[in-house]
A and B are shown apart, each in its own frame.
Chain A
Amino acid sequence: MKVLMSGNEAIARGAYEWGIRFGVGYPGTPSTEILEEFSKYDGVYAEWAPNEKVALEVGIGAAVAGARAIVTMKHVGVNVAADPLFTVSYTGTNGALVIITADDPSLHSSQNEQDNRNYAKFAKIPMLEPADSQEAKEFIKIAFALSEKFDTPVFLRTTTRVSHSKSVVIIEDPLPGEDKTEIRITPSKYVMVPAMARLRRLEVEKRTQALREYAETFGENRMEINSTEVGVITAGMPYNYTKDVFPEFSYLKLGMVHPLPEKLIREFAAKVKKLYVIEELDPFIEEQIRAMGLVVAGKDVFPFTNEFDPGVVETALKGKKPTTVRLPEVAIPPRPPNLCPGCPHRGLFHVLGKLKTFVAGDIGCYTLSFMKPLEGMHSCICMGASIGMAHGMSKALKEKGKGKVVGVIGDGTFLHSGITPLLNMAYNQGEAVIVICDNRTTAMTGMQEHPGTGYTLQGAKAKELDIFALAKVLGIDSVRVIDPYDIKNTREVMREELARPGSSVVISRRSCVLFKRHQTEIRKPLRVDVNKCVGCRNCIGLGCPPIAWRKFADMPADQVIKNAKKQEGNSFIDADLCTGCTICQQVCKVGAIVEVE
């Protein structure tokens, strides 16, 4: 049967069809839907781990027990999982282990655009790269077969375009999930002390050599010989972009990007007059081909940064930009992502902005508060960095930093990698104030469960972590809970904690406004009473999407109602968008914001 599937859905489907019944991962765009979709299939066990390192370790454990496990994460997640990754390459897997790395060229939803093909070479693990959803479904099966055949973890790499584009997939009946698990004790393979790891190290080289030979005849490293004027070596989505513009070229499309098939590449190079490597991000394939002594063009004409599209390929190879229509000369206001109407983070960052502190931020929706007008965040490096950075800053600043350094982290990110830095801050007598924005879910990636939500990925009731008690037991001197919809109390508590010597944690607790589980109150939308508004712009300073500034200069004269001498306009609230959170009502000093009748 033909269905329309995203690359992520197709990976989940392929794993299920191949009889895989064990999955674990950590949510992160563009990888999240793989495990979500996989978890819905019959007979499957799937769980969210609190971070990618734990996810990989759970996957390794399952594989050592004889299961075949899929582990999913985004590209930067592999950094977190890198420690077990490099050594599971030595031990091999017993059952089977496939790690999905979903890379994000163009940084659509990431803090960097690292090219994780480098991890394959670095950790000596084979890597497959599909170009569309049908291939994604087939390649995940090949990945598991390779893992079993060569006793190795296998990477399957996608990019955002492969994960999130949809194309036609032929679905098949699933194979039954066979249970081959048992306890087998083989310490020489799994206890990686130096003496034994040295021996496994030799096995890794033998395995890589065997994989190199396998790659030469691997069916998904395929040649398409058309005109021999130009030959293109490519893999993944850039294959589609190039085929689209230059169907007349010859192609060597690599399904496996590590290790590379040297003989096949030489054979292809010999057939064509001009050889190109077309790959996004790093010259990963190109450099290896150059090392073979072959003449090849690549990054001399193609960009190192951002994802490609057919236009990028066309421009690079033809040397001219496509002609477009004459564009109107008008300033088009940008439309960046923004905190939602009614977002609880808005109240917190309104308060933090007024306190003139350095806010070491973290990764989640709240990162969006760095923008105008809130401008409430001053650093964002990686998951969990806020706490360690705030602690390090306040230690380095000494007296200058007293009451001036705040770390802000979401509940999901705190559980991902905030616990150890908080322990460190308590133990080393830090003075920073850490705010945990507990919106009761993993909001940014689309409401995934975590240990603080009380439910598992597959919907079972779980033990709900008590973040308050955890902070206390880690040794934090003062732990308090605030409601970020209550501006006065939020301001008071933040002032008190910044003034207090010792370590503080403030839990800013209010459910994400989009998360239905905790929405019990019915709130009326608000409006601006123009007979009271003095045009002070306090509410505008919240950057809430329904609140707009209306200049008197743009209004018909009979609609202008002035309530203050220097007033230049008034605010307007779009009732269709307003959730009635009342934050703007609380910052209005003249009581001009009232409920819609």
Chain B
Amino acid sequence: MSKKSSIEKINPTEVKSVLMAGVGGQGILRASDILCLVMMESGMDVKKSEVHGMAQRGGCVTSHVRYGSKVYSPIERKGNVDILLAFEKLESLRYLDYLKPDSRIIINELELYPPAVNLGDMTYPGQAIDLVKESFKTVKVVKAHEIARKAGNLRAENTALLGVLSQWLDLEITMWEKIIWEVFPKKVVDANLKAFHLGRAA
């Protein structure tokens, strides 16, 4: 369980940010939409940014979410992201220059091989988590795939990771539940709610 002190308090004068990073097809855009809607529900201003199009074809995908009482830029500058949510292990390494020394990181323990690794030209950095831990104090590692399987829908990995993220954000659980209800089609709502709660307890 998360300690109270580790919850990201919302300070109205300060803009905070979450950076989600992973691979096309992992549901990152949906996840960042949900996060924004929950932020809006709790009365904050919020902006998010990502790149569509070519990047979807198995390339790396990022989504910046920034929130506070008034947000101007939808993208965060390097060295200023508060929380990194990595949907894939190797992708946790790619954006470390966006973080501050005290930033917190969630890593989904999943390996998706990029082309150069498949071809045998480069090695997959299997020690990614240890490397991240060398530079950052708060690193939470989860297996969202297993959580999603337990919840009964393998595609609910993204909501499982939102559940993990929710431990660190000062947002009412009922707001998360409301938005998940609204966003997903009826037949997958239960699995996604379950995945979210399992992630929140992970």
Contact = CB atoms under 8 A, between A and B. Distances in A.
A543 B116 CA distance: 9
Which 9 A-B pairs give the minimum distances between C-beta atoms?
Answer: A311-B77, A109-B53, A29-B53, A165-B74, A337-B59, A549-B120, A165-B49, A337-B57, A328-B131
Contact of B56 (A331, A336, A337): A337
Q: Which of B59, B118, B132 has the most CB of A within 10 A?
A: B118
Interface string B1-36: 000000000000001000000011000000001001
A235 B133 CA distance: 41
B148 to A, nearest CB: 13
Interface stretch (A283-291, A365-373, A385-393, A502-510): A365-373
Contact of A322 (B48, B57, B79): B79
A135 to B, nearest CB: 12
A516 interface: no
B119 A324 contact: no
Given A4-B33, A335-B114, A372-B115, A310 B76 contact: yes
A335 B49 contact: no
Interface string A21-43: 00000000110000000000000
Contact of A241 (B33, B57, B73, B96): B73
B73 A310 contact: yes
Given A314-B77, A333-B123, 19 more contacts: A2-B40, A164-B52, A167-B71, A241-B72, A244-B15, A322-B78, A325-B136, A327-B96, A328-B134, A330-B125, A331-B125, A337-B24, A340-B57, A372-B119, A445-B53, A540-B118, A540-B120, A548-B117, A549-B118
Contacts of A161: 49, 74-75
Interface string B47-62: 1111111111111100
A340 B59 CA distance: 10
A569 interface: yes
A309 B135 CA distance: 25
A567 to B, nearest CB: 13
Interface string A152-181: 000000001100111110000000000000
A368 B49 CA distance: 24
Contact of A328 (B46, B79, B132): B132
Interface stretch (B97-105, B157-165, B170-178, B185-193): B97-105
7 contacts: A30-B52, A108-B54, A161-B75, A239-B72, A330-B93, A332-B90, A333-B116
Interface residues of B, number: 64
Nearest to A8: B52
Nearest to A109: B53
Q: Which of B46, B57, B97 has the most CB of A within 10 A?
A: B57
B93 A332 contact: yes
B53 A444 contact: yes
Contacts of B100: 325
A339 interface: yes
A559 interface: no
Contacts of A445: 53
B53 A108 contact: yes
Given A333-B114, A368-B57, A445-B53, A166 B48 contact: yes
Given A335-B59, A549-B120, A108 B51 contact: yes
A322 B114 contact: no
Given A167-B46, A337-B55, A327 B40 contact: no
Contact of B40 (A4, A108, A368, A372): A4
B124 interface: yes
A260 interface: no
A149 interface: no
Nearest to B56: A337
A314 B120 CA distance: 40
A227 B71 CA distance: 21
A543 B127 CA distance: 25
Contacts of A4: 33, 36-37, 40, 46
A112 to B, nearest CB: 14
Interface of A: 2, 4, 29-30, 108-109, 132, 160-161, 164-168, 239-241, 243-245, 309-311, 314, 322-328, 330-340, 365, 368, 371-373, 444-445, 540, 543, 545, 547-549, 551, 569
Q: Which of B37, B71, B120 has the most CB of A within 10 A?
A: B120
A333 B54 contact: no
Contact of B119 (A108, A166, A365, A543): A543
A571 B36 CA distance: 42
B94 interface: yes
B51 A328 contact: no
B87 to A, nearest CB: 12
B153 interface: no
B65 to A, nearest CB: 9
B97 A324 contact: yes
A545 B118 contact: yes
A464 to B, nearest CB: 26
B122 A365 contact: no
B119 to A, nearest CB: 6
B146 interface: no
Contacts of A331: 122-123, 125
Contacts of A240: 72-74
Contact of A540 (B90, B119, B135): B119
Q: Which of A243, A322, A339 has the most CB of B within 10 A?
A: A322
Contacts of A164: 49-52
Contacts of A372: 115, 119, 121
A109 B59 CA distance: 12
Nearest to A548: B118
A340 B99 CA distance: 31
A167 B68 CA distance: 12
Given A325-B100, A337-B56, A167 B47 contact: yes
B184 interface: no
Contacts of A368: 57
A165 B47 contact: yes
A168 B45 CA distance: 7
A337 B61 CA distance: 10
B62 to A, nearest CB: 11
Nearest to A331: B122
Q: Which of B23, B51, B53 has the most CB of A within 10 A?
A: B53
Contact of B96 (A132, A166, A325, A335): A325
Contacts of B52: 29-30, 109, 164
Nearest to A2: B40
Contact of B77 (A309, A332, A365): A309
Q: Which of B33, B46, B56, B122 has the most CB of A within 10 A?
A: B56
